[in-house]
Amino acid sequence: MADFTFPHDTRASHMHYVSTRGQAPQKRFTDILLGGLMEDGGLAMPAQYPAFSRADLDAMRGMDYRQLAFAVLSRFADDIPADDLKALIDRTYTPEVYCNTVSGSDARDITPLYTLEPGLHLLELSNGPTLAFKDMAMQLLGNLFEYALARSGDSLNIFGATSGDTGSSAEYAMRGKRGIRVFMLSPHGKMSRFQTAQMFSLQDPNIFNIAVRGVFDDCQDMVKAVSNDLEFKAKYRIGTVNSINWARVSAQVVYYFKGYFSATKSNDEQVSFTVPSGNFGNVCAGHIARMMGLPIRHLVVATNENDVLDEFFRSGVYRPRGTAETLHTTSPSMDISKASNFERFIYDLTGRDTAQVRAMWGEVDRGRPFDLSASPLFGRVASDYGFQSGSSNHAHRVSTMRLANERWGRAIDTHTADGLKVALERREADVPMIVLETALPAKFSETVVEALGREPVRPAGMENLESLPQRFEVMDADVVAMKAFIAANAG
């Protein structure tokens, strides 16, 4: 895909963002940095992908993580002065931030490649503060938000609901940041002790943990209710950090490049990636890396029992589930009813036909399926875009965790186990397979104990996490009381 520039149109040399639904004005990177959906309900996409030529890839091979991050992100965030962007990247991707390696890997690699056997690798994305891959993008987001707010003189109150990984990753990214406060709802007593302790032990005055007497859906309903009150939202400058945020997706593109260069010796080679998937944010970044010219053969989407994505890649039918249909599994961060970033891929698949995307998501937004099984587009999903898929379940997870331990002496977490299970089915003889490690086993110890009969190793300094003092509010699922709490504590 060419990166056209037209000499008579100076705007064409800048990166602009358009909506997947085609009815919102173009934006620049910093315009969409703090936002979620575009005005027409669609998702932001680059008007064209930057292209990396063979010569570019040759120049990038040998770069360290920070240099790669700048090479990639300067193409997407070209309205941030280069020196500023470089400083933000250098501050984010340090071995001090991504220090929690327990495998013996070198933290200076930021995302070390761990070789199980020749041609089969794990890309360690979970050595950040909360031991899940979401830290890779969220830590940058924290620094970008602080930078943008300082430039505009604004402040921001982040309001969200979490059942685990996203909320803690957001809190560790935003803690202590000037101009930012975080109000994070979680279902009281329903998260693991480790995840609860990780969040509630934060003592930073700009972090507010709210344990809601109810289930996760009650928390999410309250976020929706506050978001729908536009007057309140504007008055208290309420924002979110959900997985459709473009800056998060673009920051995730970087480690596909890093993984590719680590697993190969020349840019003539191809690799495949297997990605434990939920909201399709992680693997969407892989798709974007491939569109930019990275030699990726297959992108293998691995799901757990919540197999809405696997079903699409097998059958061409995308059937979002109701929340009541969503199963609670032992890889909980992949328990989704629909995949919020999937619209970005379908936009590309249709040749960026926004009328078609509007028609399809007109159905999806009403909870109805769409069916591409009879469309020539469906054949292109695999042939042109390289997608494959597979699914896993609790029994697979446990047996794959045992296999990794026995054959390679490597403990893995439940989400990574879903990925490895599918990767072993999809692996080809001559193409290196890289499985993305999306969390450390210490985060999901119950299933590790079930599989391996022992507690997983914790990173240094986290041994006594559960005994640290905790700071949180317990509240009812009451929107009026919630708004009053935010009003009293907003920045």
Ligand X SMILES: *Cc1c(COP(=O)(O)O)cnc(C)c1O
Q: Any catalytic annotation for residue 134?
A: yes
CB of 163 to ligand X, least distance (A): 10
Indicate the residue type of 11: R
**Nearest approach, Cβ of residue 132 and ligand X (Å):** 4
Instruction: Please state, in angstroms and rounded to a whole number, the distance separating the CA atoms of residues 308 and 327.
Output: 12
Query: Residue 387: which of 300, 273, 296, 292 has the closest Cα?
Result: 300
Q: Which of 27, 134, 258, 338 is catalytic?
A: 134
Residue 310 sits in the site that holds ligand X (CB under 6 A): no
Q: How far is the CB of 16 from ligand X (least distance, A)?
A: 25
259 binds ligand X (CB under 6 A): no
- Per CB under 6 A, 415 contacts ligand X: yes
Task: Examine residue 276 and tell whether it contacts ligand X (CB under 6 A).
Answer: yes
Q: Which is nearer to ligand X, 211 or 417 (CB)?
A: 417
Which residue of 93, 200, 255, 280 would you call a contact of ligand X, by CB under 6 A? 280
Check residue 335 for interaction with ligand X (CB under 6 A): no
**Which residue number, 146 or 418, has a Cβ lying nearer to ligand X?**
418
Site for ligand X contains 281 (CB under 6 A): yes
Q: Is residue 338 involved in binding ligand X (CB under 6 A)?
A: no
Q: Give backbone dihedrals phi and psi of 255, rounded to 5 degrees, phi first.
A: -75, -15
**Burial class for 391, CB neighbours closer than 10 Å (0-12, 13-18, 19+):** buried
Distance CA 218, CA 195 (A): 19
Among 439, 440, 442, 462, binds ligand X (CB under 6 A): 439
**Which lies closer to ligand X via its Cβ, residue 16 or residue 134?**
134
The answer to whether 132 contacts ligand X (rule: CB under 6 A) is yes
Cα→Cα distances 86→28, 62, 207, 273, Å: 18, 18, 27, 28
- Under a CB-based contact definition with an 8 Å cutoff, are residues 195 and 189 in contact? no
The residue written with tokens 């439940």 in the block is 414
> Which residue lies nearer to ligand X by CB, 333 or 392?
333
As a whole number of angstroms, the distance between CA 306 and CA 109 comes to 33
Take residue 197 and report the two structure tokens written for it: 């302790």
Q: Does 333 bind ligand X (CB under 6 A)?
A: yes
- Tell me the per-residue interface mask from 53 to 72 with ligand X, x by CB under 6 A, - otherwise: --------------------
DSSP 459: P
Measured distance CA(314)–CA(425) in Å, rounded: 14
Q: Is residue 369 within 8 Å of 317, Cβ to Cβ?
A: yes
- What amino acid positions are annotated as catalytic residues? 134
Residue ranges that bind ligand X, judged by CB under 6 A: 132, 134, 165, 243, 276-282, 333-334, 415, 438-439
